[in-house]
Structure 1
Amino acid sequence: MHQWNTLTEKEAFYTLVEDSAEKPQIIFKDSTTCGISAHAKYKLQSGFEQIAGKAAFHYLDLQAFRPISNLIAQELKVTHQSPQIIVLKDKKVVYTTSHHAIDPGAIARHL
């Protein structure tokens, strides 16, 4: 999706945390071989207009970049899940959910 920033480096993670002081940041952690994750990604793509422009959206292929996923869990003090949504505002996690609970409307309510 053209509005998703691919998260592949730890420096980019630290930058998005800092950027959350100015604009909400969303991280979608995707397990590319998981059917539930594929469904969550489909729901996000189908309802993306509900969050477009309200936050910066970051995509993490956690199988290809598992160290980044581990860093996110450690630094943000969130339990690793897959698929997972994490919303940051003012450098803090304000919402996180996973699996079938991933819903653009619910995400939008936390922006």
Structure 2
Amino acid sequence: MGLLGNIFNKSEKNQNREKQEAKTNINWIPLTSVSQFTEIREKSKLKMVGIFKHSTRCIISRTVLKSFDQDFPKSVSDKIDMYYLDLLNFRDVSNEIGYEFQVMHQSPQLLLIHKGVTTLHASHYDITQINLEKIVK
């Protein structure tokens, strides 16, 4: 591929990297609106709900998200609904999470909601230490 091809077309290497990054072990539900909090509270009456707050500009957040995703146990995938919040694009939603679920803002941050209340929250590398198989039953 020539110079102009490299400038205007994605290289094969970049396309492969994007495909690898797109793979996920979690069936993420985008959290984009405060109105979804009602849905989260209702779902949490039947099963655990997780919210992962992610800063797309932060290397720590990216690292923790990747680790969390790679280590996410398949045995709990049908027992927990996982919401993903891009907090830079949905700052208002991120701010409301603190009020609604009574946690201080952190990034990255994981909240587990059960029966309408926050039962666990962790931030930064502490997220990678959570054993979901023990928590989610």
TM-score above 0.5: yes
Q: Alpha-carbon deviation of 1:92?
A: 0.9
- AA matched with 1:13: F
Q: Alpha-carbon deviation of 1:76?
A: 0.9
* Higher RCO (C-alpha under 8 Å, 6+ residues apart): 1
**Under a length normalisation based on structure 1, what TM-score does the superposition of the two structures give?**
0.91
Contiguous gaps of at least 5 residues in structure 1: none
How many Å separate the matches in 2 of 1:97 and 1:105? 8
State the Cα RMSD in Å. Answer: 1.5
Aligned in 2, Cα 1:81/1:105: closer, same or farther, shift over 3 Å?
A: closer
Q: Which residue of 2 aligns with 1:30?
A: 54
Provide runs of 4+ in structure 1 moved above 4 Å: none
How many Å separate the matches in 1 of 2:117 and 2:63? 27
Q: Which residue of 2 aligns with 1:60?
A: 85
Larger of the two Rg values belongs to structure: 2
Do structure 1's residue 19 and structure 2's residue 43 form an aligned pair?
Answer: yes
Q: Alpha-carbon deviation of 1:12?
A: 1.2
Number of residue equivalences: 111
**Under a length normalisation based on structure 2, what TM-score does the superposition of the two structures give?**
0.75
How many Å separate the matches in 2 of 1:59 and 1:104? 19
Aligned in 2, Cα 1:107/1:80: closer, same or farther, shift over 3 Å?
A: farther
